[in-house]
Structure formats: C-alpha cells, structure tokens
Amino acid sequence: MVEYRYLGNSGLKVSEITYGNWVTHASQVDDSAAIATVHAALDAGITTFDTADTYANTAAEVVLGKALSGQRRESLEIFTKVYWPIGPKGPNDVGLSRKHILEGINGSLQRLGVDYVDLYQAHRYDYETPLEETMQAFADVVRQGKALYIGVSEWTAEQLRAGAALAKELRVPLISNQPQYSMLWRVIEEKVVPTSAELGLSQVVFSPMAQGVLSGKYLPGQPVPAGSRATDEKSGARFIQRYLGDDVLTAVQRLKPIADEVGLKMPQLAIAWVLQNPNVAAALVGASRPEQIASNVAASGVKLEPAVMAAIDAALGDTVVRDSAKTDEVSPKSRP
C-alpha cells in the first residue's frame, strides 16, 4: 500500500504515489480503461489525483470526475491546474489573469463534479499578467472555498520566492511546486529545491520515469517500440525526444543490474529514486492498464542506500541534465 507525506509546510497529507492523467485520459485510453485504472489506484491506497483543464482540452477532467464519482470526497485529494489555452482558445482562454483564473476554477469544478479542489495550481508562470493580480485571484479562489491550497508548476526559484511573499501577505497557503524531475532531469536540485525547502513548499514531480525511458523498454540502436509514447503525437512524443539518443539509452540499460540487485523493476527504481529527495512529497504516475498501478505502488516506502544512489549516478554519468537555467525556459515569455 502507498505511504503518505505532508505537502509543504501544511497539515495536508498526500499519497506519495499520486495518480496523474496527463496523456492517458480522453487521449491514450478509452473511458472504461481510464475508470478501471483509477479504481485500481484507489484499491492500492492512492488518494491523490492530479489533472489540469488543458489535458485533452478539458476532457481529462471530465473522465477523472466520472472515475471518482461516488467516492467519499473527504477521503480524496484532487488537484487541478490553470494556465494553458483551453476551449476555443480565445485571447482570454489562457494565462493567469484574474478573468481566466476565476472562470477556470468554475469550469474545472463543474467538469470534475466537485464543490472544491484540494490544490489549485498555476500551470506555468504568466509573464503577461502582474504577479499581484495572479496571486490575488488565487487568494479569492481560496476564500470562496473553491480550493483549499494553492500551488504552482515549473516556477523558477526567483518566481517561487516572489509568489510566496505575496501569498504570505495575502494569508493564503502556497504549498507546492510541480516540476519535471527524474534521474535524468535534475535541473531543480541546485536552486528550486533549496528555495522551496526554505519557503515551506514541496515538489509534486512529474515524469519520474522520463516519459518511460527509465523503464528500459527503449533500446539503443533499435526502433522505438510500436504503440509506445514515442510514436504517439497526441501523448507526448515530442517530450520524449531529448532522451532517445543512444548515449542516454545505453546509460539507462546500465541501471538494470542495479534494479535487479535491490529487487526492483526499472520503473520502480525510477519512482523510488525521486522519492529519496526529502523535498519531494509525491511522484506523479500515469497508467493505461490497472496492472501498472500495482507495479508503481511497489516503489512506495522503498529506501535506497547511499551506495545504490552512487551506483545510479555512476551508471548515468554525464547524460544527466543538471543546468538550473533550464527551468527558466519552461514558461513561455508570451502567452501561447
């Protein structure tokens, strides 16, 4: 069963394996399969579910709402996000303006079929909206009872510091950041993690398996597997390209004996690795089949010895990306 961790400097506990539906619901799998995986997650003790209004252009929220229908609301932690274009993608259907945030939360609640979300997140930083406007709108969402806590995604250390200062002034709980983080992508370690720890924020990390590359199924010198994410333009194919060089794939294969030695499958090793970071509250995992849930959950509670962590570093060598400046490249400088 899944273990639980506090989210930031708050009293909210979340399942350290959190179910995310970025590229699966209303896209990669049909609704019946999506509902089956959510129910498998619930059976495994996962209580925390993350989505966003932009996933499948709002349809993923609808599917998650259906899957969680009938569950005791108080026993769940439901997260969603706002920023990217949705709907007809008009000039105000994007960003972190007061208009889009307040309309966004109403739409998300309707699609999810709930009265509130536990965490409402800024899906990126909006350079076109004054931060004061954004944070005031989030504060109003909390005060209206439509969200209990607020978070952000892929903000730089400087943006986190500015946002946290305003949140403190407005007396609303900013408690998390949702960045990409994996054995291969460690750009948050130098600045974002120490700043977050200082400010009382946790990381809810996505792509702990580097879009599936750390599962070991992509082999150097071989075509990508048929039906894999690398072949599906709707399901994140462009995000995986950075990991498909033979140097990376060869390094990843060196992880297999390490996983074998500690009695884990390679996906489990990848998830367990991100959870060794004390600032990480949860690893976001998706699933297209219920059996994948049981495998992912086996990573919960695993402690990797320092020698194992060192062996992983040695195996991956200089294929690891650590440049903290990469975080600054994630949020568009103008609205998409």
Q: What is the pLDDT of residue 241?
A: 84
User: Number of folded domains in the chain?
Assistant: 1
Domain extent for 273: 4-329
Residue 141 domain-assigned (yes or no): yes
Q: Which residues are catalytic?
A: 55
Report field, pTM of the whole predicted structure over 0.85: yes
Q: Answer left, alpha or beta for residue 45, where phi above 0 means left and psi between -120 and 50 means alpha.
A: left
State whether residue 50 is helix, strand or coil: strand
Residue 168 domain-assigned (yes or no): yes
For residue 309, give the nearest of 282, 280, 269 by alpha carbon: 269
Positions of the chain with pLDDT under 70: 25-28, 226-238
**64-114: per-residue pLDDT in tens?**
999 999 999 999 999 999 999 999 999 999 999 999 999 999 999 999 999
Q: What is the pLDDT of residue 195?
A: 98
Q: What is the pLDDT of residue 123?
A: 98
CATH code, 312? 3.20.20.100
Helix axes 98-112, 59-68, angle to 10 degrees: 40
Residue 180 contacts residue 324 (beta carbons within 8 Å): no
Output the 3-class SS for 64-128. HHHHHCCCCHHHCEEEEEECCCCCCCCCCCCCCCHHHHHHHHHHHHHHHCCCCEEEEEECCCCCC
Residue 336 domain-assigned (yes or no): no
Distance of CA 222 to the CA centre of its chain: 29
Q: What is the pLDDT of residue 225?
A: 74
Residue 335 domain-assigned (yes or no): no
Q: What is the pLDDT of residue 29?
A: 76
Q: What is the pLDDT of residue 234?
A: 59
Q: What is the pLDDT of residue 226?
A: 63
Q: What is the pLDDT of residue 227?
A: 59
Pairing of strands 117-122, 4-6: unpaired
The CA-based angle 149-151-155, given to 5 degrees, is 165
